[in-house]
Chains A and B, each alone.
Chain A
Amino acid sequence: GENVEQHPSTLSVQEGDSAVIKCTYSDSASNYFPWYKQELGKRPQLIIDIRSNVGEKKDQRIAVTLNKTAKHFSLHITETQPEDSAVYFCAASFGNKLVFGAGTILRVKS
């Protein structure tokens, strides 16, 4: 079926440390993998995405890696800051739609 598993459900790190969130997907045909950040009471907003012809993508402190063979992809945030605290969602394309993971609550302690 169309399934995206996301771990961990909560993550607490010290300011300046790195944070890693991992997702797996069920359909080997999936070829688009966005990550969204949702702050409390706000809308989800895209922070980075990757397509299946790329293994890694980086944007300043944020990077995403994709392993198509294993069907998993990860979000890496380096030098975390308090403003990184939010809920992060991964998603994978299934045909013409996006299916989201359950979300990870990231808390950055200062």
Chain B
Amino acid sequence: DAGVIQSPRHEVTEMGQEVTLRCKPISGHNSLFWYRQTMMRGLELLIYFNNNVPIDDSGMPEDRFSAKMPNASFSTLKIQPSEPRDSAVYFCASSPAFKNTEAFFGQGTRLTVV
């Protein structure tokens, strides 16, 4: 298994543009998590899904952020419109069970909004 796959690896965009980050979880994993990592805030959980259903989106910072999981093998995190303070590394992670098991992280997407 190739692990959790994220794309793109790097994204540079101008303020105000829409950004879409993509994630393919490990096959068979039924939980998916989106994290944001910055120096100031560390690793923040933005949203997580179980069996494609969003369970908790309390970590989503603003309405500009949205996430979807249309099927078990694909999820997107969208920022519209993007702002410079959204610059961060965004990680997707998946796990084989709903709780109390290891979360496997993707390589991350480094987003820079200028």
The yes or no answer to B108 lying at the interface (CB within 8 A) is: yes
- Residues of A within 8 Å of B105, CB to CB, are 43-45
Identify the interface centre among A49, A97, A99, A102: most chain B CB within 10 Å of its CB.
A97
Chain A contact residues: over half helix, strand or loop, or mixed? strand
- Residues of B within 8 Å of A97, CB to CB, are 33, 45, 48, 56, 99
Question: Which listed residue (B42, B45, B50, B55) contacts A102, Cβ 8 A?
Answer: B42
What is the CB-to-nearest-CB distance from B35 to chain A, in angstroms, rounded to a whole number?
A: 8
Q: Is the CB of B99 within 8 A of A100?
A: no
Restricting to B68-112, which residues have a CB under 8 Å from any CB of A? Answer: 91, 98-108
Which residues in A have some Cβ–Cβ distance to B below 8 Å? 31-32, 34, 42-46, 49, 51, 89, 93, 95-103
Which residues in B have some Cβ–Cβ distance to A below 8 Å? 33, 42-43, 45, 48, 50, 55-56, 91, 98-108
